[in-house]
Chain A
C-alpha cells in the first residue's frame, strides 16, 4: 500500500458523486486556473528563470500566455463542446433521437516533463477539466522551482477533492503507474513512453503519448539564406534548444551550407550579441546531466559557430556543427539543446530518403521559395506536424491538433482536440417505447419480404425512398 492509494481513492469517490459533471463546476475550475496564472505571474516567471533561465519574453509567449489562451478558449467554448452532437439517421431511426454524448473518463493522470513545465501541465489540464475529469498531476521533479509552485500554490485554486498534485522521481512515478487510471496523458521521451504504455496496457487504460525525435529541417537552394537562418535559429535556440518540436538538424546542399553558416552567425549575433552568455534572452540547460550530455555532442563533426560551454552556468553557446557523420552521437539521439548540425545532401530526393529511413518525427520543416518543393517534402514524408518556411508556429494555432506519429507519439491535443482527448464519445440512440408494430418487420420467422424492407430501412436518409 503506497502513499498514492488514499489520494486516488478520494479523487475517485469525488468523481463518483458527479461533482465534476456540471458546466458550472468545470468553468469554476478553469477560472481558478486563470486566477492562478494572473495572481502568480511574477512568481511563475521567476521560477521559470530559475529552472531554465527563461527570459520574461519566452516565459510569457511559450508558457504563461499560451496557458492563459487555452483556459480562455475552453471557457468560451465549454458549453458548445459539452453539447450532445446530433447525427444523421437512416429510415429505420427517423423518429428517434441519435447523438454522441461526451462524457469524462473519470480519473486522469497527467505526467509532465521539465522543458515547458507550466505549459505542458496546464494545457492538458485545461482539456481534462473541461471534459469533466478528476486529475492527478505529476510535475517533473527536474524543474524544481515550478514543481514547488504547482505543488504548493496551484491546488489552492482548484477544488482539492477533485485534483491532486503528486511528487516524486522515476521510482515514485513507476509506483503511481501501477494504479488504475481512466486516462493517462504523458509527455516525455520514447523510452519512458513505452513503459507508460505497457503500464496502461495492464488496465486497458487509453493514453496519449507526446514524445519526441529528431525533427528534420530541409533547406532548398532556392531561398534567402538570411531569412532562413533567422527563422531556424530562433526556433532552434529558443529555450536553449530544449523543445520537442525544435528543428533538430538541417539537410541542405554544400552550396547552401556555405551561405547558411555566415547567415546563422549573423542571426546568432543579432539575437544574443557577441557574447551570448551575457544575453538575458538565452536560456540555460536544465541540469548537470543534460549539460554533460550536450557538452559531449560538441565534439561531433566540426564547430562552425559557437561551441563554448560553462559548467557553472549550465551554459552552452548557440552552436552550429558541420561535417557531421550520420553515425555520430549528435545524429543518433534527440539533441534537445542549442546545437544545430548541418548535413549535406545532393538533392531533394536524397534528403527525403534520409528522412524516411529514420523514425517519424514530431515535426518536420522545409524552407524554399518554391511551393512545389515544400509540397513535395510534405507529400513524401510523415511527421506529427509540418511547417513550410518557418519553425514550430503551427503549435500556436489551437485549431491545429498537436501530437506525434510512430515513435514520436500517439494522440492529439490543444484547443478542442484536448477536450476530445479526455472525453468518452458515447453513441446514443433513444427510441420510442411504442410503435411496436413497425418492428414486426425485423422479427423471425424471417422471410425474403422482411429482408427487403429491412434493407430499405437501413439506407441513409438521403435515399429517395417513399416507403413508410
Chain B
C-alpha cells in the first residue's frame, strides 16, 4: 500500500498503520493544519459529509442499532452538524492568543496563552452512538489543528463502513486516516506513539488505554461509564417522572452511557412509579413495543445474551420479553432487586430499569456514595432542597435535576466523567481546549537591561524586598 496514494483504501494491520502514522506526522510537521483556512475547510468537509450522506447514515444506524430516524437525527446527525457549525462560527476566536494580566516586572511585556495543536491525535469510538462519538471529538481535534487517526468501532459495522469509505473523501487525506480492526488491532495501534488519545468506552478498556498512553507520556481523555443512579423523591408527580425517566432509559434501547441505570425510591413511590412507567411505555411504544418503529435494538448477540440474562434478576414488573432473531429486548422494569444481583453489579446498557427501594434520602445518598462515581446522576423532586442535597452530597461527571441527560445538548456544559467514569471534558469549546496545548508565552524587550540590575547578584537586602514586591503586585502604578 502506497503511503503517497491519496485514493488508497483505509489501513488494516500493523505495517500499514506505521506508514499511515508516519505519513500523518510528516503532514503535521509541514504545518499544513495550522492555518484557520485549512481547519475551516476540513470542518466544512465534515458538514458536507453529514449532509450528502444523511440517508446513508440513517440507514446504517438503523441497521446497526434499529435507531429511528428521529433518534438518529437528534442524537447523532444533527448533534454532529451543530458541533461543526459551532466550531466554524467560533474557530477564529478560539484560536486567538489569550492575553493575561501582568505583574509589575512584566508590565511592559506581552503575556499570553497560545493554543497549539498537540500533533497526532488518536480517537477511539464505541458502537452505541458510532457517528456522534466519532465526529464530536473529531471536530475538536480538527479545530485545534491536529492530524487525526480515527478508529471506529468494528461492532457497529454499517456505520464503520460509511466512516471508512466515505468520510476520508471529505477530508484532506494526508492529515486524516481511518483505521479498522478489533481489539487486537487496537492494541497494536496503541503501542505506537500519539500526541493525544481520546477514548470512549468501558472502564476496563480505559485502564488499558491509559497504561498504553503512560509508556509514551501521552495525555488522554477517557469517556467511560458506570451505573448512573436516579433518585426519585416521594414529593413528585409519578407520571411526569415516569415519562422523563422512561424516555431517557429506553432511548437507543438503553445503550447510552449517561442513561439512568437504576432508580432509588421509597416503597410507596415504587408502587406509584410502576403503573406510571407502564403508562409511559405504552404511550411511547404501544401495546406491543416490538412493533414500534421508535424503539431500538441491541447491537449484537453478545450483548443481547448478556441482557437476556439480566432479565432473571429480581422480579419483572413490566416487559421482560425478548426475541433473539431481532435482538429485541422489551422495555423492562425490575423490582425486588438485590444489590448483589448481576443487574446491580454491572452497567446495564440496555432497556432494563431496576427499582431499588430505600427508606430515606440519606440512605439513597449512602447507597450512591458507597459505589464508584458515575458519569451521570439524576434526582427528581418537587422540592428544590432535595435536589440540591443530592447534588451537594454526591459526585458525578454530570447532574440532571428533574430530567435525564438533556444537559448533553448544551455545548456550553462540559461532558465527561470522574473517578471510574472517566478523565477529561469535551463538547463545544471544551473540545477545542481538550485537543489544544496551552503554551504560556512572555515576550520581553531586548533592551532596558538597566532595570534588571535589581535581580542580579551580588545581592543586598534591598534587592529582594523590591523584587518580591514587584513580583507580587498586579496593579501597581509605578513605572
9 further interface pairs, Cβ-Cβ under 8 Å (given A18-B393, A396-B105, A444-B285):
A90-B410, A98-B407, A194-B217, A401-B438, A427-B407, A428-B400, A430-B401, A455-B74, A458-B74
Selected interface stretch from A25-33, A100-108, A154-162: A100-108
B402 within 8 A of A: yes
Do B410 and A234 touch across chains, with their CB atoms under 8 A apart? no
Residue of A nearest to B118 (CB): A405
Contacts A201-B207, A406-B195; A444 near B294 (Cβ below 8 A): yes
Task: Find out whether the CB atom of B243 lies under 8 angstroms from the CB atom of A399.
Answer: no
Q: Within the complex, which residue of B86, B247, B295, B393 is in contact with A443, where a contact is CB–CB below 8 Å?
A: B247
Partner pick for B413 among A16, A87, A386, CB 8 A cutoff:
A87
- Report the separation of the CA atoms of residues A63 and B213 in the bound assembly, to the nearest whole angstrom: 33
Q: How far is the CA of A391 from the CA of B348 in the complex (A)?
A: 55
Known: A201-B210, A433-B382. A388 touches B444 (CB 8 A): yes
Q: How far is the CA of A371 from the CA of B437 in the complex (A)?
A: 23
Residues of B within 8 A of A393 (CB): 105-106, 109, 442, 444
Minimal beta-carbon separation of A210 from chain B (angstroms): 12
Residues of B within 8 A of A93 (CB): 406, 409-410
Contacts A100-B414, A201-B211, A394-B111 hold; do A389 and B443 have CB atoms under 8 A apart?
Answer: yes
A residues in contact with B381, CB < 8 Å: 433
Asked if B237 CB lies within 8 Å of chain A CBs, one says yes
Q: Which residues of B contact A273 (CB under 8 A)?
A: 458
B38 CB to nearest A CB, Å:
15
Interfacial residues, chain A to chain B (CB-CB below 8 A) = 16, 18, 55-57, 60-61, 65-66, 69, 72, 87-90, 92-93, 97-98, 100-101, 103, 105-106, 182, 190, 193-194, 197-198, 200-202, 204, 206, 209, 211, 223-224, 226-227, 230-231, 234, 270-273, 279, 281-282, 356, 367-369, 371, 374, 378, 380, 382-390, 393-394, 396-397, 399-402, 405-407, 409-412, 424-434, 436, 439, 442-446, 450-451, 454-455, 458, 460
User: If A397-B103, A446-B294, A458-B409 touch, does A433 touch B402 (CB 8 Å cutoff)?
Assistant: yes
Are A443 and B243 in contact, CB atoms less than 8 angstroms apart? yes
Q: Is B7 part of the contact surface with A, judged by Cβ < 8 Å?
A: no
| Chain A residues with CB under 8 A of B343 | none
Residues of A within 8 Å of B444, CB to CB, are 387-390, 393
On whether A271 and B457 interact (CB within 8 A), knowing A201-B211, A374-B443, A444-B285, the answer reads yes
CB atoms of A431 and B406 under 8 A apart: yes
Most chain A CB inside 10 Å of its own CB: which residue of B73, B398, B457: B457
B33 proximal to A (CB < 8 A):
no
Residues of chain B contacted by A446 (CB below 8 angstroms): 68-71, 293-294
The chain A residue sitting closest to B34, CB to CB, is A379
Q: Is the CB of A397 within 8 A of B102?
A: yes
Asked if B442 and A400 make an inter-chain contact with CB atoms under 8 angstroms apart, the answer reads: yes
User: In the complex, what distance in Å separates the CA atom of A90 from the CA atom of B420?
Assistant: 30
A429:B413 contact, CB within 8 angstroms: yes
Q: Is B53 an interface residue (CB 8 A)?
A: no
B377 to chain A, nearest CB (A): 9
A60, A92, A272, A367: residue with the most chain B Cβ atoms closer than 10 Å: A60
Number of interface residues of B (CB under 8 A): 109
Q: In this assembly, does B45 line the interface, its C-beta being within 8 Å of a C-beta of chain A?
A: no
6 shortest A-B CB distances, which residue pairs?
Answer: A201-B210, A197-B214, A430-B401, A429-B407, A87-B412, A281-B457
Contact (A429, B418) CB under 8 Å given A197-B217, A201-B207, A455-B78? no
Q: A65-B472, A412-B438, A429-B406 are in contact. Are A399 and B415 (CB under 8 A)?
A: no
In the assembled complex, B327 has its CB within 8 A of some CB on chain A: no
Given A386-B441, A426-B418, A432-B402, CB of A211 within 8 Å of CB of B217 = yes
B89 to chain A: closest residue by CB? A460
Chain A residue at minimal CB-CB distance from B294: A444
* Minimum CB–CB distance for A240 against chain B, Å: 13
Query: Residues of B contacting A211 with CB < 8 Å?
Result: 217
Q: Roughly how many angstroms separate A74 CA and B193 CA in the complex, as a whole number?
A: 38
Bound CA–CA A368/B244 (angstroms): 63
Verify B101–A399 contact, CB threshold 8 A.
yes
**Chain B neighbourhood of A374, CB < 8 A:** 443
- The interface residues of chain B lying within 8 Å CB-to-CB of A272 are 457
A295 to chain B, nearest CB (A): 24
Chain B's closest residue to A364 (CB) is B439
The reply to whether B391 and A428 contact each other, CB–CB distance below 8 Å, is yes
B50 to chain A, nearest CB (A): 14
Q: Does B395 reach chain A (CB closer than 8 Å)?
A: yes
* Chain A residues whose C-beta falls within 8 Å of the C-beta of B286 in the assembled complex: 445
The distance in angstroms between the C-alpha atoms of A163 and B391, with both chains bound, is 25
> B411-433: which have CB < 8 Å to A?
412-416, 418-420, 422-425
B445 in contact (CB, < 8 A): yes
Contacts of A367 in B (CB 8 A): 446
Nearest to B68 among chain A residues (CB) is: A446
Q: Does B240 contact A (CB under 8 A)?
A: yes
Could you say which residues of chain A place their CB within 8 Å of the CB of B103? Answer: 396-397
- How far, in Å, is B321 (CB) from chain A's closest CB? 18
Minimum CB–CB distance for B442 against chain A, Å: 4
Per-position 1/0 for B222-243, Cβ under 8 A of A: 1010000000000011011101
* Contact assessment for A279 and B446 in the assembled complex, using a CB-CB cutoff below 8 Å: no
For the complex, what is the distance from the CA of A367 to the CA of B447, rounded to whole Å? 11
The residue among A56, A57, A380 with the most chain B CB atoms within 10 A of its own CB is A57
B400 proximity list for chain A (CB < 8 A): 428-429, 431
User: In the assembled complex, which residues on chain A have CB atoms less than 8 Å from the CB atom of B195?
Assistant: 406
Q: B371-400 CB contact bits vs A (8 Å, 1 = yes)?
A: 000000000111000010001010111111
**B419 contacts across to A, CB distance below 8 A:** 105, 182, 204
Q: How far is the CA of A308 from the CA of B106 in the complex (A)?
A: 36
A204 in contact with B206 (CB, 8 Å): yes
- Is B210 a contact of A200 with CB atoms below 8 Å? yes
